[in-house]
Structure formats: C-alpha cells, structure tokens
Amino acid sequence: MTQTTARIKKKGKEFEILVDMDAAMNFKKGVSKSVDFLEIDRVFTDAKKGNVAPEKDLMECFGTSDAGDIAAEIVKNGEVLVTQKFRDEEMEKKYKQVVDFLVKNAIDPKTGLPHTPERIKSALEQSHVNIKNAPVETQVKEIMEAVSKIIPIKIAVKKVKLIIPAMHTGRAYGIVSQYITKEEWLNNGDLEVLVEVPAGAILDFYEKLNSVTHGSALSEEVKD
C-alpha cells in the first residue's frame, strides 16, 4: 500500500486528498467504482501542511462538502501523483499491449502472414518510437509509420458499411468514430458509415456496437 496525493484545481483554488495510490488509479481507470482509496476523510488545500479546505470553498467548487463525493471527482478529473516504479510498470504493460496488438492485427504484406512477437519487439526497439501511456488504437498510426521503416508491415483490416438507427447514433458514434473513413447522415436521422476495423478486433467491435444498438445496426462487409 502506497499513500500518495491526488489534487485538482477548481475556480483558482487548489484541493488535495491523501489516497492509496493503487486503489485510486484503479478508480481513475474505471477498474473499480469504490472510493475506499481515501486514506483520510478530509479535503486539504495543502495535504503536507495539513491545511484543511474551508467548507464554503468545498460547497462553492464541488457543490458538496462530502469528502467521499469530492474525492471521487478529484481522482477522476484531477491528478494522482504516482511513483516512478508505477509509471515504469504501466509503460511495460502498454508496451506488451502494443506488441500483442501488432501480432494480432498486422501482417507482412509480402507474405500475408503475421509477424512473430520477437520480430515486432525488435522493430519497435530499432524504430525508437515513443509509445505513450494511452490506448493503443489512438497511437497505432504513429507506431506503424515508425515500424514500417524497419520491417514490411500493414494492419489487416475489415471494411464494413454500417447503418445505425437514429435513436442509437449518440452512443454508437463513440464506438465507430475512430474507424470511420466515410460518413453520411441520412434524411431520417440514421447514420451511414464506412469503417475500417483491424481484423483481429472486428468481433470485439461488433460486440460493443450491438450492445448499444441492441443489434439493430445493419452491417455489410465491403470487399476490395
């Protein structure tokens, strides 16, 4: 158990809480919904000095003086200070996710076969690409540009045309947006899109889409 500080700035005022680092990060990432990460049932303006935040400031900035509710907002929307060891472990996990993604979704265009994990790792190291602690999908283009200078590689994709009913477009758009290559809003409010999804992620993509559209989205695979 490692105690650390989580902090946020609202309306020009600084607020801090003392939390268990691992539990707080699990909450921030959505792994846990429990606020049992709060070590001390107080909100501070300066945790090191023990300066407790005035209740009027809490009400003004958070609309409540409840430490648990405020702690949830601070951890979710603010900054949790983490150790170098934690950062290193997170980056190691992210590196493995990148390797797994490329092994699963990328191929050698010359042979049509996937690359081995060892070859992917070697190419990543030689390319000196900066892997960020962010979702793989948001940085795969940059990673591919760097790695393709070392080995022949491309993402195997499935092209799919979708028609999403108007009543579900709000929630569904967040799922399809990162894969859209063409979109058109129809007169009845439905959304028609052409998406290119990594072949290895297509089943997960359909599962997420069906969960928010209740299976009402129409799909048609497009052949080159």
Neighbours of 177 (CB within 10 A): 11
Q: d(Cα 27, Cα 33) in Å, to the nearest integer? A: 6
For residue 104, the enclosing domain spans 84-155
User: Please, which pLDDT band fits residue 211 given cuts at 50, 70 and 90?
Assistant: very high
| Domain limit, last residue, from 59, 80, 101 | 80
9 lies in the same domain as 75: yes
Q: What is the pLDDT of residues 41-56, one digit of tens each?
A: 999 999 999 999 999 9
pLDDT at 142 over 80: yes
User: Please, which pLDDT band fits residue 135 given cuts at 50, 70 and 90?
Assistant: confident
Q: What are the φ/ψ torsions at residue 176 (nearest 5 degrees)?
A: -90, -20
Q: pTM for the whole thing?
A: 0.64
pLDDT at 118 over 90: yes
| Domain limit, last residue, from 112, 131, 155 | 155
146 lies in the same domain as 191: no
Q: What is the pLDDT of residues 62-83, one digit of tens each?
A: 999 999 999 999 999 999 999 9
CATH number for position 19: 3.30.1250.10
Report the pLDDT value the prediction gives residue 106, as an integer from 0 to 100: 92
Q: What is the pLDDT of residues 85-106, one digit of tens each?
A: 999 999 999 999 999 999 988 9
Structure tokens at 96: 């493995």
What mean pLDDT comes out for the span 186-193?
A: 96
Judge contact between 137 and 155, C-beta under 8 A. no
